[in-house]
Amino acid sequence: MQVIDAVKLQRNIIVYAVLAMAMVGLGVAFASIIPLHRQMAEAADKSFDHGLDLQVATLRENVARAGDLARQVTSRSVIRDALAAHNRGAMTADELRAFTADKLVDSMKLSREMLGITRLGRDFRPLVSVGKAIPPELWTPDSGEPPALGAPAMVGGRWVLLASAPVLGRDGTREGHDLLLFDAEGLHAMAADVEALGQTGEIILGRGGAAAAEVFFPRRHGGANVDDEVREAFGLAADDASPMQMQHPGGGRDVVLAQRLPGSDWIVMARQDLGELHSNIDRLVVSVGIGALVLVGFGIAGFVLILRPLTGRMLVHTGELKQQIKDGERAQAALERALEGTIVAVASTIEVRDPYTAGHQRRVAEIAAAIGRELGLSAHQLKGLRVAGTIHDIGKIGIPAEMLTRPGRLSPLEFDIIKGHAADGAEILSGVEFPWPVADMVRHHHERMDGSGYPDGLKGDEILFEARILAVADVVEAIASDRPYRAALGLDAAMAEITAKRGTLFDERVVDACRKLVEEGRLPLGA
């Protein structure tokens, strides 16, 4: 029967150990893979965002350059003054053209993309034109004031763009407009550069909001059409965009960024299918997950091979191990009893020399332990407090017995000798390796909260909390018991003393706890 039970126990140990290892292994694997997937997805979104930032920066530079060139042309004071003179009848139209044309030709050299310049009068009618004329598809005089930045258009098989700026006189009056025709093939190439966006991504350049969105260039998979996703993205476009997920008209989810180009009403939008953006991440995470499962499987197999003989030997030695544990517990208990006996013997040695204070240390230990328990000290702290209380006057072993038992008052010199017992006691105990700060408690049990105590004159929190408890317990026991120089004053006198000195000499919390014990009849003062 014992053999059967041992085999069953061995099987249970192996099964439970394997299950535990599998759960821990899988838990660790998933706890690592899930944050890894999230971080990698966030990194992919940030990379997508960064890529759009680069595109926006390039487009912004091109768009801003068109506006800057228009303003540079209009700011040339010589031809500006000539236009103002023409408007005031001081120069004929032919004279204006003759004077202005060659200077506008020089202005075209500012940019290779500039195809033509047309200067308009106040009535928006052309006065001077160099290079290519403004296509009517972009603007005509009947259209009114020309746009600062027009939409790109395909003219003669080529993408072109119109930019304009008003010509202001010296007094700020509008004298006319300059229209600049630009080659927009570069912008089209930027919008068509979707190699980094996989099979589903595209860059869309347009303007307007959700109600009147306009797309400039043909989209990747068709014409320059506006769908619900584009309208929603244009309506949410901001100067500093963040990735957002939207429903693609054809189904599926897209990661979308829509950002406004500063200084214009243009919007650049980038989109890519969420599954494609994260596809490499998903494949990597699946690979890592499979690898983790394989490793857990190998670990389980190896664990079984190790546990089988190990549990057999373990079952053989279980009885011996139990016996060793019991023997160790008995030895530990014997050591604790020996320590307690030694402490009691030392305390008794002191009390033999001072019969008037016989039992004082034991009673102080009991009172201190009761106060410490009331204050919520742990069992470990209470044990150390009891030990310190039992031998807190061990330093008196070096004081002459006749001085300790004298019924009369001591001289100042004799009292100084008596006060040295706290430091002497700590010195005696400093070589003993207690699991508690017994030496510090003994040294400081005569320290006071206002710094008037001895031997170190410590104040407040500088005094170990257990030493503050011993101080109150020592005073209460001394006042309530007989002394060589007087009869016992009683517990009421002791309470009156510590209450009067609460907060000045004695810790407030300790005094309150002691008073509560007395009021409830739980203070172990003893006989």
Q: Do 198 and 276 contact (CB within 8 A), yes or no?
A: yes
CA angle 441, 368, 349 (to 5 degrees): 70
Query: How much is the pLDDT for 403?
Result: 77
Enumerate residues 6+ apart whose C-beta is below 8 A from 53.
none
Distance CA 12, CA 15 (A): 5
Report pLDDT digits (tens) over 419-469: 899 999 999 888 888 889 999 999 999 999 999 999 999 999 999 999 999
Q: Cα-atom radius of gyration of the chain, to the nearest Å?
A: 48
Cβ contacts of 123-131, under 8 Å, gap ≥ 24: 124/177, 127/83, 127/86, 127/93, 127/96, 127/97, 127/100, 127/176, 128/96, 128/97, 128/100, 128/101, 128/104, 130/101, 130/104, 130/105, 131/105, 131/181
More confident residue, 390 or 197: 390
Q: Do 498 and 471 contact (CB within 8 A), yes or no?
A: no
Q: How far is CA 251 from the centre of its chain?
A: 38
Per-range mean pLDDT, top range of 34-43, 266-275, 348-357, 403-412: 266-275
CA angle 523, 491, 358 (to 5 degrees): 80
Distance in angstroms between the alpha carbons of the first and the last residue of the chain: 61
Q: Give the pLDDT band (50/70/90) at residue 218.
A: confident
Tell me whether residue 473 is exposed, middle or buried, using C-beta atoms within 10 angstroms of its C-beta: 0 to 12, 13 to 18, 19 or more: buried
Query: How much is the pLDDT for 45?
Result: 66
> Percentage of the chain surpassing pLDDT 90?
35
Cis ω for the linkage preceding 152 (within 30 of 0): no
340-355 burial, b at 16+ Cβ within 10 Å, e below that, comes to: eeebeebbeebbeebe
Q: How far is CA 95 from the centre of its chain?
A: 73
More confident residue, 208 or 370: 370
Distance CA 237, CA 61 (A): 19
Enumerate residues 6+ apart whose C-beta is below 8 A from 523.
367, 370, 476, 491, 514, 517
Helix axis angle, 93-108 to 2-74, nearest 10°: 150
Query: How much is the pLDDT for 3?
Result: 42
Report pLDDT digits (tens) over 54-96: 777 777 788 788 888 888 888 888 888 999 999 999 999 999 9
**Which among 415, 424, 422, 495 is positioned nearest to 458, based on CA atoms?**
422
Distance CA 23, CA 18 (A): 9
How many residues can be counted in the chain? 527
Q: Is the pTM of this model over 0.85?
A: no
**Which among 437, 504, 500, 441 is positioned nearest to 474, based on CA atoms?**
441
Q: Is the pLDDT of residue 504 over 80?
A: yes
Residue 240 DSSP label: S
